[in-house]
Amino acid sequence: MTSQEIFEQVKKKKSFLCVGLDSDVNKIPHFLYDTSDPVFAFNKEIIDATHDLAVAYKPNLAFYESMGVSGWNTLEKTVNYIRYNYPDIFIIADAKRGDIGNTSNLYARAFFDAMDFDAVTVAPYMGEDSVKPFLTYVGKYVILLALTSNKGASDFQYMAEDGERLFEKVIKNSQEWGDSENMMYVVGATKAEMLKDIRKIAPKHFLLVPGVGAQGGSLAEVARNGLNSKCGLLVNSSRGIIFAGNGEDFAAKAREAAQEVQSEMAGLLSEANLL
């Protein structure tokens, strides 16, 4: 998928929403436990209820890996369901991988060949050779962790040398490995004030922005600081949407929550003359 194709979906849906499928088996409605695959049944309902409002879905792999083999089967079924029923939607493996070249090559094969994700989140700490294997797949994206929204982000990411902070160095140096057609960056919504600085370094790249909703990030601040000429943002909301309700109407409640976010996004896109 190209960045232009993502932008076309943004314009069509008037949305840059990414729904995070952080589908905790302990939090899904209990009546789903009677189904053969409760988490897949949950995901399917969430996807069907929000697919016209979201341009991307992002399963967080920890919630699937923690269930062992059955979790991997659920993940594969979820990806296949999106791919077959809603083929224009961008699918992100929130895996945060990153290892020596040969191992990264196998990770890339797992996510891009075996499971047909469009993108995978990758930690840049081990450098270029740990990222390059993911960049060899045409039409696929690496989403590098750059400036995260967790409290511990300040432990390393703001360290400065010669006036340049570590997260800025990551973004600047990594652009020599790929371009805006195979690389994106994770920038937390709680760091919205930093987006202007990041846009100076990476004006064309899409940014995956978690932290809106349950984590308290401001969507308006993210948009006003981070939008570019092709939108350039995928703003993720997980718990605030998928766990908006926990009864038999959970999917309808998820849709209501997604519509609220999408409606605000439509206004921000219009304000930026992107529709």
Distances (CA, A) of 207 to 74, 101, 139, 255, 265: 27, 25, 17, 24, 15
Of residues 11, 96, 132, 253, which has the active-site annotation? 96
Beta strands in 124-182 (DSSP E): 141-147, 160-161, 164-165
Task: Pull the structure tokens for residue 44.
Answer: 């399917």
The H-assigned helical ranges of the chain are 3-13, 38-50, 62-65, 69-85, 101-108, 128-131, 166-174, 195-201, 219-226, 239-242, 250-271
d(CA 225, CA 221): 6
The H-assigned helical ranges of 109-238 are 128-131, 166-174, 195-201, 219-226
SS3 53: coil
Residues in contact with 124: Cβ distance below 8 Å, sequence separation at least 6, in sequence order = 98, 130, 131, 144, 145, 146, 170, 174
Length of the chain: 275
Q: Which amino acid is at 28?
A: I
Is residue 96 annotated as part of the catalytic site, yes or no?
yes
Is the distance from CB of 206 to CB of 232 less than 8 angstroms? yes
User: Which residues are part of the catalytic machinery?
Assistant: 96
